[in-house]
């Protein structure tokens, strides 16, 4: 009887945590966050003898994404953090023509964005304020144009000619490929490169002949030897650098840079893929957010997954999810290009697609975002806007830490929000 009374006095709290992963390796993201959260709770338990922390592996199938339960138990309260992962459906990316058209339309999107910003700055204020706003926009416009040109044109060229061969080809094919590229470069520039090199080798040979006066060492005999040594040294250095670069790229390819780029572009440019991702993600959110003992739902995402998460939450939260939802985001970018949610996020999508993302933030949704350097935490709110206008994003800085990782700040905020709930 006493045990039953004691058990009923203990409050049970469950906090489902859905981690949106852009990686093609299930478990990479959720395992990293699970380790950070478990370590933080264990550190708290060191200073609180009444608190015990345990972890349980809930994954029953190795082929599926792992899921974890972290339990923090005290005499009057039991808190369970249920960590699950949502992985984007596998994709090779959008069709090449769609991707090419999207790249070629980058200047159009930039012009639309700048025209909207200029129109907004000129609508109100005195003449002096309008002139000041215009001069303020000029350097930002130049920097923005440089970023767009560098990302949408220079980066695809580098990717197609350098990065993709390293990732897709063997060392032998890569060597042949770069030998072909080098041959083309030499054929195009040999008139300006080869004569100076021959002249330089001739001078070195003549200096050696002058230093060692001997009838056996002539210029004609020594020149091919020195040329062969120099040529062999150059080839050896090139082969060494090629091997080192291939190894570095293979190691870097373990990171989900290419994967989340393909996923993001497919989500933006392929309507069928976007609809499939939305349906699957909404099903997971509804299941996690409407449990009987659920006190609050946490969604953690980064990269292009932020687009999917906000679109789904803005559509379903008010009507279908009946618990507080906290959106925790960091590393916002689009296939490697850092994106400022206040401006450039909306530049990356077509104006016709703005309605997908330009939805007012639900009243009870708290959106916390972290910047890496300096490590700063923001709260975002998106205001309702008129049709064909760029969304207005309110950004409020609430915390700054110079020597703290964004993931550590994210875990701290997650624990603080669960304590408040």
Residue where a domain stops, chosen among 194, 225, 252: 252
Give me the chain's average pLDDT, please: 78
The pTM of the full predicted model, rounded to 2 decimals, is 0.69
* Alpha carbons 14 and 10: distance in angstroms, whole number: 13
The label of the residue with tokens 């999917």 reads: 308
* Residue 81 and residue 120 share a domain: no
CATH assignment of the domain containing 41: 3.40.50
Q: What are phi and psi of 335, to 5 degrees?
A: 55, 40
User: Strand, helix or coil at 248?
Assistant: helix
Q: Is residue 318 part of a domain?
A: yes
Q: Which residues of the chain have pLDDT under 70?
A: 1-9, 24, 60-64, 96-97, 151-175, 213-217, 246, 248-260, 334-348, 351, 373-374, 384-390, 421
Please count the structural domains in the chain. Answer: 3
Return the H-helix or E-strand segment holding 328: strand 325-330
Is 10 in contact with 76 (CB distance < 8 Å)? yes
Q: Is residue 257 part of a domain?
A: no
Give how far the C-alpha of residue 210 lies from the chain's centroid of Cα atoms, to the nearest Å. 61
Q: Quick one: pLDDT at residue 169? A: 61
The CA-atom distances, in angstroms, between 63 and each of 27, 90, 300, 309 are: 10, 14, 22, 24
What single-letter DSSP state applies at residue 403? T
CB count, 10 Å around CB of 192? 8
Give how far the C-alpha of residue 70 lies from the chain's centroid of Cα atoms, to the nearest Å. 27
Is 2 in contact with 281 (CB distance < 8 Å)? no
Q: Quick one: pLDDT at residue 325? A: 92
Residue where a domain stops, chosen among 168, 202, 223: 168
Segments in 253-304 forming alpha helices (H): 257-269, 271-289
* Alpha carbons 23 and 301: distance in angstroms, whole number: 11
* Residue 275 and residue 176 share a domain: no
Q: Quick one: pLDDT at residue 2? A: 44
Q: Quick one: pLDDT at residue 7? A: 44
Q: Is residue 387 part of a domain?
A: yes
- As a whole number of Å, the CA-based R_g of the chain is 29
* Residue 176 and residue 152 share a domain: no
**Which residue segment(s) compose the domain that 353 sits in?**
2-90+270-420
* Alpha carbons 265 and 280: distance in angstroms, whole number: 18
* Residue 125 and residue 59 share a domain: no
The label of the residue with tokens 């590229």 reads: 181
* Residue 216 and residue 86 share a domain: no
User: Strand, helix or coil at 116?
Assistant: helix
* Residue 138 and residue 199 share a domain: no
> 87's torsion region: left (phi>0), alpha (psi -120 to 50) or beta?
beta
**Tokens encoding 70:** 């972290």
**Tokens encoding 18:** 């859905």
Q: Which residues contact 130 (CB under 8 A, 6 or more apart)?
A: 121, 122
Q: Is residue 261 part of a domain?
A: no
Return the H-helix or E-strand segment holding 235: helix 219-252
Q: Is residue 388 part of a domain?
A: yes
User: Strand, helix or coil at 361?
Assistant: coil
> 61's torsion region: left (phi>0), alpha (psi -120 to 50) or beta?
beta
Q: Is residue 374 part of a domain?
A: yes
Q: Is residue 304 part of a domain?
A: yes
* Residue 416 and residue 275 share a domain: yes
* Alpha carbons 167 and 317: distance in angstroms, whole number: 41
pLDDT in tens, 306-341: 889 999 998 888 788 888 899 999 887 765 566 665
Q: Is residue 405 part of a domain?
A: yes
* Residue 391 and residue 283 share a domain: yes
* Residue 194 and residue 146 share a domain: no
Tell me if the bond preceding 374 is cis, omega within 30° of 0: yes
* Alpha carbons 269 and 244: distance in angstroms, whole number: 36
Residue where a domain stops, chosen among 141, 168, 195: 168
* Residue 143 and residue 157 share a domain: yes
* Residue 387 and residue 276 share a domain: yes
* Residue 73 and residue 33 share a domain: yes
DSSP string covering 112-158, please? HHHHHHHHHHHHSS-HHHHHHHHHHHHHHHHHHHHHHHIIIIIHHHH
**Tokens encoding 334:** 């689009």
């Amino acid at each position: 009887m006493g045990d039953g009374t004691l058990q009923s006095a203990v409050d049970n709290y469950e906090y489902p945590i859905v981690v949106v992963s852009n990686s093609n390796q299930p478990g990479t993201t959720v395992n990293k966050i699970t380790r950070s959260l478990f370590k933080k709770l264990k550190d708290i338990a060191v200073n609180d003898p009444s608190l015990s922390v345990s972890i349980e592996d809930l994954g029953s199938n190795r082929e599926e994404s792992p899921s974890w339960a972290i339990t923090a138990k005290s005499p009057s309260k039991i808190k369970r953090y249920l960590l699950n992962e949502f992985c984007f459906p596998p994709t090779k990316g959008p069709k090449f023509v769609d991707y090419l058209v999207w790249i070629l339309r980058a200047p159009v999107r930039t012009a639309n964005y700048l025209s909207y910003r200029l129109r907004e700055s000129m609508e109100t204020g005195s003449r002096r304020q309008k002139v000041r706003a215009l001069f303020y926009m000029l350097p930002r416009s130049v920097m923005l144009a440089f970023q767009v040109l560098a990302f949408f044109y220079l980066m695809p060229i580098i990717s197609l000619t350098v990065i993709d061969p390293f990732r897709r080809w063997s060392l032998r094919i890569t060597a042949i490929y770069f030998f072909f590229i080098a041959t083309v470069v030499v054929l195009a520039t040999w008139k300006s490169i080869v004569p100076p090199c021959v002249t330089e080798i001739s001078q070195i040979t003549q200096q050696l002949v002058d230093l060692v006066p001997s009838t056996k060492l002539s210029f004609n005999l020594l020149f091919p030897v020195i040329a062969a040594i120099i040529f062999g040294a150059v080839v050896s250095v090139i082969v060494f650098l090629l091997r080192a670069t291939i190894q570095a790229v293979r190691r870097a390819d373990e990171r989900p840079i290419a994967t989340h780029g393909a996923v993001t572009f497919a989500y933006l440019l392929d309507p069928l893929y976007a609809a499939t991702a939305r349906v699957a993600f909404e099903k997971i959110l509804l299941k996690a957010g409407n449990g009987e003992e659920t006190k609050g739902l946490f969604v953690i995402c980064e990269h292009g997954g932020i687009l999917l998460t906000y679109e789904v939450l803005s559509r379903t939260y008010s009507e279908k999810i009946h618990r507080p939802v906290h959106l925790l985001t960091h590393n916002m970018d689009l296939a490697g290009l850092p994106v400022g949610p206040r401006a450039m996020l909306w530049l990356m999508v077509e104006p016709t697609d703005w309605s997908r993302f330009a939805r007012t933030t639900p009243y009870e949704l708290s959106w916390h975002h972290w910047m890496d350097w300096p490590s700063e935490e923001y709260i975002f709110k998106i205001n309702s806007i008129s049709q064909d206008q760029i969304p207005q994003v309110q950004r409020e800085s609430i915390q700054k830490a110079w020597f703290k990782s964004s993931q550590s700040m994210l875990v701290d905020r997650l624990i603080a929000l669960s304590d408040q709930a």
